[in-house]
Amino acid sequence: MSFVEYSDLIQNGDVAIVYLGHDSMMPVKVQQGAQTQTRYGVIRHSSDLIGQRYGSKVTCNKGGWVYVLHPTPELWTVTLPHRTQILYTTDIATITMMLELKPGSVVCESGTGSGSLSHAILRSIAPSGHLHTVEFHQQRAEKAAEEFKEHRVDRLVTVRNQDVCKDGFGVTGVADAVFLDIPSPWEAVGHAKAAMKRQGGRVSSFSPCIEQVQRTCEALADQGFEEISTLEVLLRVHDVRTLYLPMPDFGPDPSAQTWPDAAEIKPPASVVLKTTTLPRETQGHTGYLTFATKPRT
């Protein structure tokens, strides 16, 4: 099992995602002889998980059942233990696209946080790329490094515990892209530029407040970055519903009286159709995404 490579069978030591429902999932470290308690009963790792295919339906001892899924960055985002506020898939998808990430890309990231974006970056740049991620908090940095090793992607990532605003990313002239998720990203713009390749690249910053965005954009312009733009991604999911609309009876159609059986034709009592309705609640503001390009030097 690896977060960037697919495996068919569940093995001892894997991290699997137990699916109880659309809004109820949890990660499980598969271990010989271990058990996992769910509301549907106990899952015994030795007999119920190890050797089974990912995607299998597992029956618990109380008669209920769950699915066991292969881990992906998207599933990890909704099940990971929160050490910080995290980025979710809506923003992550935009970031990976706008930074033009691809297999072989070298990326610098700060801060690592809970590793939500890090896992998505690693899948995008595998198998030959590399992620240099910087985390100011020592315990969070150590925990992130431990998770990367457990998820078998540690060969693709280097974790550094340092202040990116003072000490930079620890590399110079190697990055195709840089991502900043820190309280004062404008203080790290110079280090981001130094970490990027001479032939240029893309930089992105995530900030919840517009005042942070303003200062970051000013710093990017001062450092010679081009194509500076800021956007906000808001997700609105429409509910698909079946409606039954009654049809009014307007009486016989005079123009249709030429047909012998026209008088016997009756309009349908109702019409069945599919439609969408707006959600009652819409997720509000999460943060602003600022993007810029470093020109070739």
pTM over 0.85: yes
Tokens of 208: 């919840």
CA atoms within 13 A on the CB side of 15: 22
* Spatial contact of 244 and 270, defined as CB atoms under 8 Å apart: yes
pLDDT beyond 60 at 296: yes
Q: Measured between alpha carbons, how far is 80 from 23 in angstroms, rounded to an integer?
A: 14
- Asked whether residue 181 is marked as a ligand-binding residue, the answer is yes
Calculate mean pLDDT across residues 236-251: 83
Q: Measured between alpha carbons, how far is 174 from 282 in angstroms, rounded to an integer?
A: 40
Q: Measured between alpha carbons, how far is 288 from 250 in angstroms, rounded to an integer?
A: 55
Q: Residue 216: which residues within 8 A CB-CB, separation 6 or more?
A: 180, 185, 186, 189, 205, 207, 290
Q: What is the pLDDT of residues 273-288, one digit of tens each?
A: 899 888 777 777 889 9
Confidence at residue 23, expressed as pLDDT on a 0 to 100 scale: 87
pLDDT beyond 80 at 215: yes
116: three-class secondary structure by DSSP: helix
Q: Residue 257: which residues within 8 A CB-CB, separation 6 or more?
A: 263
Output the average pLDDT for the chain: 92
Calculate mean pLDDT across residues 242-252: 79
| Percent of the chain topping pLDDT 70 | 93
Q: Measured between alpha carbons, how far is 193 from 225 in angstroms, rounded to an integer?
A: 9
Q: Measured between alpha carbons, how far is 230 from 221 in angstroms, rounded to an integer?
A: 13
Confidence at residue 261, expressed as pLDDT on a 0 to 100 scale: 56
- Asked whether residue 114 is marked as a ligand-binding residue, the answer is yes
Q: What is the pLDDT of residues 114-152, one digit of tens each?
A: 999 999 999 999 999 999 999 999 999 999 999 999 999
Q: What is the pLDDT of residues 16-47, one digit of tens each?
A: 999 999 889 999 999 999 999 999 999 999 99
Q: Residue 33: which residues within 8 A CB-CB, separation 6 or more?
A: 45, 46
- Whole-angstrom Cα Rg for the chain: 26
Confidence at residue 68, expressed as pLDDT on a 0 to 100 scale: 97
Confidence at residue 292, expressed as pLDDT on a 0 to 100 scale: 98
Alpha-helical regions (H) of 42-169: 73-79, 89-98, 116-125, 138-150, 164-167
* Spatial contact of 191 and 170, defined as CB atoms under 8 Å apart: no
- Asked whether residue 154 is marked as a ligand-binding residue, the answer is no
* Spatial contact of 193 and 168, defined as CB atoms under 8 Å apart: no
Maximum distance among all Cα pairs of the chain, rounded to whole angstroms? 90
| Percent of the chain topping pLDDT 90 | 79
pLDDT beyond 80 at 237: yes
Domains and CATH numbers, the chain: 15-71 (3.10.330.20), 75-231+284-294 (3.40.50.150), 239-277 (no CATH)
